[in-house]
Amino acid sequence: MTEKVSVTIDGAIIRAPKGLSILDAALDHGICIPHLCRVPAISDLGACRLCIVEHIQNGRSKVTTSCTLVVKEGMVIHSNTEKIKRLRRNIAELLVAEAPNSRAVQDVAMRCGVKEVRYPFRNNNCILCGRCVRICTGRLGEKAIGFVGRGMDRRVVAPFDLKSKLCRECGWCSDLCPMTMTPCGGPMHKGQERLCTNCESKQTSLDQMTGYCVACYFGKGFQCERHPERFTGIEE
């Protein structure tokens, strides 16, 4: 049996196996920390920054992503403070302004409490979460796609923009892509982008949302995989 350590997440003392990330430990115990770029069982990137938590160390709080933070005996974590909620909302707002044409992104923005978008919409078709790249390199051991470019030029492509011979056409990359699910109202055209609030009506108390797992139906696969209809990969 693997060794276990105790960590305190939002006041709950959790026994988690060594080597597990805080995000996994929290999800295992029904504490829902919003996340987007995470793929279960694949190395984490820390790209989307939605899963940020406050890590209290020597009386000082440090904001860090829970997916890259590995459990350690006696750790104290707050995943839902006012500060974290505010920061998370701002990040989700940046994301949804960049790519409103994804149900997963719209849902996560709604769950993080985004009520208005203060930036001009951009309607990009990639948010560089890297789920596709990591499944290809991390799980399948191929490198058919990867990141190229820096900063705003960063994008996911096959080597030299040619279809790679390494590609087995397994389709995992598109299965995992948050951009493949259009918003319920259908795709938004350029100039018509908006914050889709369809999910809001289904939710009882928005402010309590991120505090605990309510087995939500939103953006299935991109949120809490503890859900009964959890994301199951290829079969989905």
Q: Which residues bind other proteins (CB under 8 A)?
A: 44-49, 52, 63-65, 68-70, 83, 86-87, 90-91, 94-95, 97-98, 118-120, 127-128, 147, 149-154
Measured CA to CA, the distance from residue 208 to residue 79 in angstroms comes to 13
Measured CA to CA, the distance from residue 49 to residue 29 in angstroms comes to 21
Comparison of 14 and 97: residue with beta carbon closer to other proteins: 97
Instruction: For tokens 């500060």, name the residue.
Output: 83
CB of 204 to other proteins, least distance (A): 28
Given a contact cutoff of 8 angstroms between Cβ atoms, the answer to whether 79 and 26 are in contact is: yes
CB of 11 to other proteins, least distance (A): 22
Comparison of 97 and 173: residue with beta carbon closer to other proteins: 97
Measured CA to CA, the distance from residue 181 to residue 217 in angstroms comes to 14
Helix (H) or strand (E) holding 52: strand 52-57
Partners of 70 in the beta sheet?
21
CB of 1 to other proteins, least distance (A): 24
Using the 8-state DSSP alphabet, how is residue 21 labeled?
Answer: B
Half-sphere exposure of 44 (CA within 13 A, CB side): 23
Comparison of 20 and 128: residue with beta carbon closer to other proteins: 128
CB of 49 to other proteins, least distance (A): 5
Comparison of 88 and 103: residue with beta carbon closer to other proteins: 88
CB of 127 to other proteins, least distance (A): 8
Comparison of 27 and 75: residue with beta carbon closer to other proteins: 75
